[in-house]
Amino acid sequence: MTYDVAIVGSGFSAIALTINFLRYLPPGASIAVIGDDPGFGRGTAYRTEFYLHRLNVPAARMSVFPDKPDDFVEWLRRRGKPVFAEDFASRGDYGLYLRDTLAAHLKPRAQRAQVDFIRAKATSCITCEEEGLTFRLDNGTGLSARNVVLALGVGTASLPISERKIASELAGQTVINPWRLGWLSRVEPDDEICVFGSGLTMIDQVLSLKAQGHRGIVHVLSRRGLVPQAHPRRRPAAVAPELPESREISVLLHELRKQAETVEDWRSVFDGLRPQTQALWQSLSDAQRSRFLRHALPWWSIHRHRVAPDVHERFSELVAEGIVKIHAGYVRDIEADADGRAVVTYRQRGRDTVAAFDADWIVNCTGMERAGIGHSPLLQAMRDRGMIAMDPLRLGITVDNGSRVVGPDGTVQRGLYAAGALTAGQFWEITAVPDIRVQAEAVARQAAEEIIRRLPQQARSA
Ligand SMILES: Cc1cc2nc3c(=O)[nH]c(=O)nc-3n(C[C@H](O)[C@H](O)[C@H](O)COP(=O)(O)OP(=O)(O)OC[C@H]3O[C@@H](n4cnc5c(N)ncnc54)[C@H](O)[C@@H]3O)c2cc1C
């Protein structure tokens, strides 16, 4: 059979798309969701059950529906969770909310479109003129759909050092993907840990370690040693900044800094900028965007992607006690000593000196890859067939403002959409729920209108 729409992916983007397609498509339509994640809809972010793995966005902004902002807060209250709109709920609860919300939309079976969940990974795609797109799946089957939304998320970033430069004896103590949490259970209480990366993933992993009674030193090494800022306990009102005419990054940053100094809490200006961020990004030239990525990104990330206040407090205590040591520099090599421990050598930032520390574990917390396509054989196959093009800064794939995929010749690919971080080249701010939910609704509405136009009259009015 040929589905009306196939959603490829199994994280938040896929679940938000599925729910919105169920809202907009009539019962005669058919949807396939192709995903390889057993906890469908929870993805890496919302699969955790650890209470200190908290959302980094207040509960009031995490509803799946942009037009029903209280949906998540009400779900929490119905379950007796005393969470206020401005609180940072647990990511595990958010995963359950997603599961329940999807289940509620699947219930009225007779009055909704058909949905088939296919547990598989799409590995390649072959165009087929009349029938839309046909995918090969890693379970040996194939699947065709007239409309497709690619919602593949991002892969895990690689280590900041070639694996060849890590002594081979250390393979068993090197954790490339920390989200496979199995590694935590192998850590001894006094083991020393080397974490590469100092962002949100690092904080999650350090707190998980400490919660299981780990006492050893954690060395955190990143190029700048910058750590995410905290959300305040009481959120200040957002103040929309006045943007200058100039789109030079240095002028923009200077102006934002100046305005942040005039308010009580700099976060109000940052929060006030948020609704303007996508338009601001789209008004920058490629050269200006590239300058932003080269010079401002690490600063942007720690101010923009903040952590819940109590999570930040707990982490800061560990730093103050000297249990977490933050190093700024560039890793040079990782050798094994006579006891099989790692000796990590790095050049210190801003100096010519080389420093070193020992560790029992090497853990990659460099976070998510800026989407790109390196993590996905499917995207590479589609690129090779001329179906998709990388955006100029290699942040993801090229799409238009309606999230429709644009091919290498600049024409919109009929019936092919992308959602989530893959579209960062066009939208920049598109990795978190408040933005993806808006995109998912718009894509589903737009694609559903097309599908309904082409459905036989009987199915359309059903
Ligand atoms: C630890 C962590 C915490 C976060 N916390 C927050 C938060 O508090 N608030 C917030 O708004 N955002 C948060 N985020 C951002 C988060 O990325 C988004 O909220 C959202 O989960 C992104 O969903 P996604 O579906 O686009 O991507 P993903 O969650 O990455 O899901 C993509 C899915 O597609 C599957 N897939 C990939 N390729 C294929 C293929 N070829 N065939 C089939 N399936 C495929 C993958 O296996 C994966 O399951 C967090 C992210 C992380 C990693």
25 and 447 Cβ atoms separated by less than 8 Å: no
- Separation of alpha carbons 83 and 70, rounded Å: 12
CA distance 224 to 300: 13
CA of 456 to the centre of ligand 1 (A): 36
CA of 196 to the centre of ligand 1 (A): 21
pLDDT at 260: 94
Name the CATH superfamily housing domain 163-229+307-364. Answer: FAD/NAD(P)-binding domain (3.50.50.60)
Three-state SS string over 317-362 comes to HHHHCCCEEEEEEEEEEEEECCCCCEEEEEEECCCCCEEEEEECEE
Q: What pLDDT, on a 0 to 100 scale, did the predictor assign at position 87?
A: 92
Secondary structure letter of residue 32 according to DSSP: E
Q: Tell me the average confidence (pLDDT) per consecutive run of 10 residues in the chain, 462 residues long.
A: 94 96 95 87 81 91 95 96 89 94 91 95 83 92 96 83 86 88 90 96 94 96 96 92 95 95 95 94 96 93 93 97 97 93 96 95 82 83 94 93 96 95 94 96 97 74 60
Place of tokens 């093009």: 389
pLDDT at 369: 56
d(CA 13, CA 15): 6
Q: Using CA positions, which residue lies closest to atom 23 of ligand 1?
A: 12
Is 43's C-beta closer than 6 angstroms to any atom of ligand 1? yes
Cα 458 to ligand 1 centre (Å): 37
Does residue 58's CB lie within 6 angstroms of at least one atom of ligand 1? no
Residue 122 bridge partners (DSSP): 137
Ligand 1 centre distance from Cα of residue 43 (Å): 5
Q: Which residue ranges does the chain devote to CATH 3.50.50.60? A: 2-155+369-461, 163-229+307-364
Report the nearest atom of ligand 1 relative to the CA of 62. Answer: 11
pTM of the model: 0.93
CA distance 194 to 176: 12
Question: How far does CA 177 lie from the centroid of its chain?
Answer: 15
From CA 391, how far away is CA 378, in angstroms rounded? 17
- Across the strands, what pairs with 7? 33, 149
Nearest CA to ligand 1 atom 37: 152
Cα of 9 vs centre of ligand 1, distance in Å, is: 9
Q: State the Cα–Cα distance between residues 131 and 3, nearest whole angstrom.
A: 9
Task: Report the residue among 12, 87, 204, 376 best suited for mutation to probe ligand 1: largest number of ligand atoms under 8 A from its CB.
Answer: 12
Question: Measured from the CB, is residue 420 less than 6 Å from ligand 1?
Answer: yes
Topology of domain 2-155+369-461 in CATH is FAD/NAD(P)-binding domain (3.50.50)
- Which token pair is 241? 């900044």
Question: Can you say whether residue 285 is alpha, beta or left, with left for phi > 0 and alpha for psi between -120 and 50 degrees?
Answer: beta
- Asked whether 396 lines ligand 1 (CB < 6 A), one says no
List strands edge to edge, sheet with 342-348: 174-175, 361-364, 193-196, 218-222, 324-336, 342-348, 354-359
Closest by CA position to 159, among listed 367, 300, 337: 367
3-class SS letters over 79-116: CCCCCCCCCCCEHHHHHHHHHHHHHHHHCCHHHCCEEE
Query: Rounded to the nearest whole angstrom, what is the distance from the C-alpha of residue 21 to the centroid of ligand 1?
Result: 19
pLDDT at 460: 61
The Cα–Cα gap between 135 and 440 comes to 22
Cβ neighbours around 129 below 10 Å, total: 5
> Distance (Å, rounded) from C-alpha 194 to C-alpha 199?
14
Closest atom, ligand 1, to C-alpha of 120: 43
Residue with tokens 């370690």: 209
Q: Tokens standing for 21? A: 């397609």
The verdict on the CB of residue 14 being under 6 Å from ligand 1 is yes
Is 121 close to ligand 1, i.e. is its CB under 6 Å away?
Answer: yes
- pLDDT value of residue 41: 72
Contact 224, 349 (CB under 8 A): yes
> Ligand 1 within 6 A of 424 CB?
no
CA 224 / ligand 1 centre spacing (Å): 26
User: What end-to-end distance do the CA atoms of the chain give, in Å?
Assistant: 20
Give the residue carrying structure tokens 């957002």.
Answer: 238
Q: Which of 122, 71, 185 is nearest to 434 (CA)?
A: 71
